[in-house]
Structure 1
Amino acid sequence: MHEFPSGEYAHSEIMAGDVMVHTLAKQADAVWPREQWWFERLDSTAYPNVLDVGCGPGEITLRLARDLGFSSITGMDLEPRIIDIANQRARDVDNVSFTVGDATALPFEDNRFDLAVNRHMLQVVPSPEKVIREMARVVRPGGLLYFLVEDYGMINGAPVVPDLFWHRIQPGLQKRASDLFVGRKCYGLLKSLGFEEIGCHYASPDTINTPAEVWEGIFRFWSEGYAAFISEACDLPVEEAKAHFQAYIDDVHHPEGYVVWHLPVFTVRNPT
């Protein structure tokens, strides 16, 4: 099973900060247009009750509630401050609610939801399989699970070559219960947990379909939010971590530069 040396969640301070709020907004601008089609094709009347696990400040939760016809959306996150922000944003939205909770011990009864969504999260939790099991528990038989999973080896660019940086810092971040390459492992993890009906597609923002200012915002907020964390965890000068993110920014503004972020999306039918 997929376990890390540390069982502690190491990202709480970062996830509760203002930088992460801005990061998630920019990521939604880049990624959501590449994944929205999957939700639009669903018959929302067949999946009326939706859970967004690790919802953050509600960027995607509110899009699901406002735009796609689902009857009831529940967003849940570990960080109370982030849930406060989500509740403020949702004051005029009748079909959404937010609550604080632990994704490894969801505060909901069995079979409560028709669809459970998990985005940009499995790479920072100590035990992804616990999150997946809990999501399956609270989704009815025949319901759906949706995972948008990060894998930093699937960020490609030119002239910058990012692979060496991500592989260099993975051992240090693994000690902080983080897996930068969980995206490529997710199919095997789902199979090992007994799921059979598994689909996969990719959400792939790049510098052709996504404006440069969105990309710059993503990499700038990653630098502000994570450069110091990477430096401490990986015994790496903070200036070197910042320089890596700046290289991405330089790429997206280079007249011949190109960046693409492939995010695997796994969709799973809960066993009946």
Structure 2
Amino acid sequence: MTKHRNPQAEQMADESMIRNLRAQAEAIWPQEQCLLERYGQPSRIADIGCGSGEITCRLAERYPDAQLVGVDILESSVAYARRAHASLSPRVRFEQGDAFELRFPADEFDLVVCRHMTQAVPDPEKVLSELCRIVRPDGWIHVLSEDYGMLHMPAGSVDPDRLWHEGVIEYTRRTHTDARIGRRTWSIMNHLGLQDLRVDYVVVDTLRVPRQTFGAILGAWRDGYTEALAEHSKLNENELRALFDQIVSAILDPAQYAVWHIPIVSGRKPAQRFQP
């Protein structure tokens, strides 16, 4: 994938992303796994944009008879996933690959999962079309599609909404990505002809998720993204760190409440041959 297709490559390769994906999995998976009931018992599963393999291994545990492949554009992430989850080989394998041009034939998988990626790539419509191509007729697509207009943090000495609207959303606009893709994903998948479409929400908040876990997500974002946000947004580095630090402090404060709503969009490929 070229720099144009992967403008966040440097941040995705940073060590903070390993911490981020681990904390996100711990926060999200307990609620998300309940949504998988509608997919039955898939025997072939692809996890596109698998990163460190945190969710690939959880899918393997949930579907012990399935064959799984995790795909990521970054060879460093693939290498990490292979080391971390070597005990699952050969039933679970990890491959370097480009989500815009996947090296799989059409109609290959019963379930295709894509998480935490649509907000990071330009032209997410093309990625979603590729997911549709590789899933078999009557197979399912499961997309966790972030939306940075759906984070709500308590105000303090600085206004936390500035981080999302003047920082993150502006950053993605300048890098030709979409920090609010979550609210558009249903429409894209509907346009692609998927059926039985549904939008569910995982609620990551200070009641459902341990505060330390929730705070670790924001801390990892701060560590991995502050410099990039300062370069490509309306906020400078000092402002960004102050905003991140206040949000983390609020999350860790037992007297305060914070919440992140995360859309998960799922749909089934029609039984007739799919033509995007």
TM-score (norm. length: structure 2): 0.91
For 1:225 and 1:70, how far apart are their aligned partners in 2?
36
Deviates more, 1:68-77 or 1:34-43: 34-43
For 1:175 and 1:159, how far apart are their aligned partners in 2?
26
Deviates more, 1:6-15 or 1:31-40: 6-15
2:29 maps to 32
Deviates more, 1:249-258 or 1:100-109: 249-258
How far the C-alpha of 1:165 sits from its partner, in A, is 3.0
1:115 maps to 111
Q: Which of 116, 121, 134 matches 1:138?
A: 134
Q: Which of 162, 165, 168 matches 1:167?
A: 165
> Is 1:71 matched up with 2:66?
yes
Contact 1:149 1:263 in 2 (8 A): yes
Deviations 1:232-252 (A, max 9, x none): 011521111111111111111
Q: Secondary structure at the match of 1:255?
A: coil
User: Aligned ranges for residues 12-51 of structure 1 at < 5 Å?
Assistant: 12-40=9-37, 42-44=39-41, 47-51=42-46
1:264 maps to 263
For 1:164 and 1:271, how far apart are their aligned partners in 2?
42
Contact 1:158 1:251 in 2 (8 A): yes
2:253 maps to 254
How far the C-alpha of 1:41 sits from its partner, in A, is 5.6
**Structure 1 unaligned residues grouped into runs of 5+:** 1-5
Deviations 1:210-258 (A, max 9, x none): 1111122111111000011100011521111111111111111223211
Deviations 1:2-41 (A, max 9, x none): xxxx944211111112111111101111111110112256
2:203 maps to 204
What is the alpha-carbon root mean square deviation over aligned residues?
1.6
User: Aligned ranges for residues 234-245 of structure 1 at < 5 Å?
Assistant: 234-245=233-244
| Aligned pairs, number | 265
Distance change (3 Å), C-alpha of 1:194 and 1:43 = closer
Contact 2:20 2:217 in 1 (8 A): yes
Q: Secondary structure at the match of 1:110?
A: coil
Q: Secondary structure at the match of 2:232?
A: helix
For 1:123 and 1:152, how far apart are their aligned partners in 2?
9
**Structure 2 unaligned residues grouped into runs of 5+:** 272-276
User: Aligned ranges for residues 160-239 of structure 1 at < 5 Å?
Assistant: 162-169=160-167, 170-239=169-238
What's the % identity of the aligned pairs? 34
Contact 2:71 2:94 in 1 (8 A): yes
Deviations 1:34-71 (A, max 9, x none): 10112256432xx1100000000100001111233341
Q: Which of 52, 59, 80 matches 1:85?
A: 80
For 2:28 and 2:194, how far apart are their aligned partners in 1?
26
Read off the aligned partner of 2:160 and give its amino acid letter.
Answer: P
For 1:262 and 1:183, how far apart are their aligned partners in 2?
10
Deviations 1:78-104 (A, max 9, x none): 000110000012211142000000001
TM-score (norm. length: structure 1): 0.92
